[in-house]
Amino acid sequence: MDFKKIGWIFFFAFLGLNIFLFSIYKEADDQEDVVYRTDQKVPIEDRLDSEDISYSGQFSGKHQKGYYISGKPSDMNEALDEERDRQDDQDLLKDQTSVDDKTLTHSLTEENAITDTSQTSNVLKQFLQEEDQVLFGDEYSYLEDVSSFKGDYPSIIAAQSYEGIPIDDSSSRIEIELSEQDDKWVLSNYTQTHISDLIPLREAISLYSEEEIINTLYVNNKIPSGSEIKWRHLAYTLNLKVRGQNVYVPAWFVAIEDEDGQTQIEKVNALTNRIITNTTVQTVENS
Q: pLDDT tens, 84-107?
A: 999 999 999 998 999 998 999 999
Tell me which long-range contacts 20-29 makes (C-beta under 8 A, separation of at least 24).
Answer: 20/68, 20/201, 20/239, 20/240, 20/242, 20/247, 23/239, 23/240, 23/282, 24/239, 24/249, 24/271, 24/272, 27/269, 27/272, 27/274, 27/276, 27/279, 28/272, 28/274
Domain 17-68+201-284 class?
mainly beta
Q: What is the pLDDT of residue 233?
A: 98
Q: What is the pLDDT of residue 173?
A: 97
If one counts every other C-beta atom within 10 angstroms of the C-beta of residue 40, the result is 12
Q: What is the pLDDT of residue 113?
A: 94
Q: Using a cut of 0.75, tell me whether the model's pTM lies above it.
A: yes
User: Which of 194, 162, 153, 156 lies closest to 176 in space, CA to CA?
Assistant: 156
Q: With beta carbons less than 8 A apart as the criterion, state whether 243 and 12 touch.
A: yes
Question: So where are the chain's domains?
Answer: 17-68+201-284, 74-195
Q: What is the pLDDT of residue 109?
A: 84
Q: What is the pLDDT of residue 2?
A: 56
Q: From CA 212, how far away is CA 252, in angstroms rounded? A: 10
Would you say domain 74-195 falls under CATH 3.30.310.160?
A: yes
Q: What is the pLDDT of residue 19?
A: 58
φ/ψ (deg, to 5) at 28 = -65, -40
In tens digits, what is the pLDDT along the chain, a chain of 287 residues? 555 555 555 555 555 555 555 555 455 444 444 555 555 578 999 999 999 999 999 999 999 999 999 999 999 999 999 999 999 999 999 989 999 989 999 999 888 999 999 999 999 999 999 999 999 999 999 999 999 999 889 999 999 999 999 999 999 999 999 999 888 999 999 999 999 999 999 999 999 999 999 999 999 999 999 999 999 999 999 999 998 999 999 999 999 999 999 999 999 999 999 999 999 898 887 65
Q: From CA 8, how far away is CA 6, in angstroms rounded? A: 5
For the chain, what is the mean pLDDT?
89
Q: How far is CA 100 from CA 31, 51, 123, 275, in A?
A: 36, 48, 27, 33
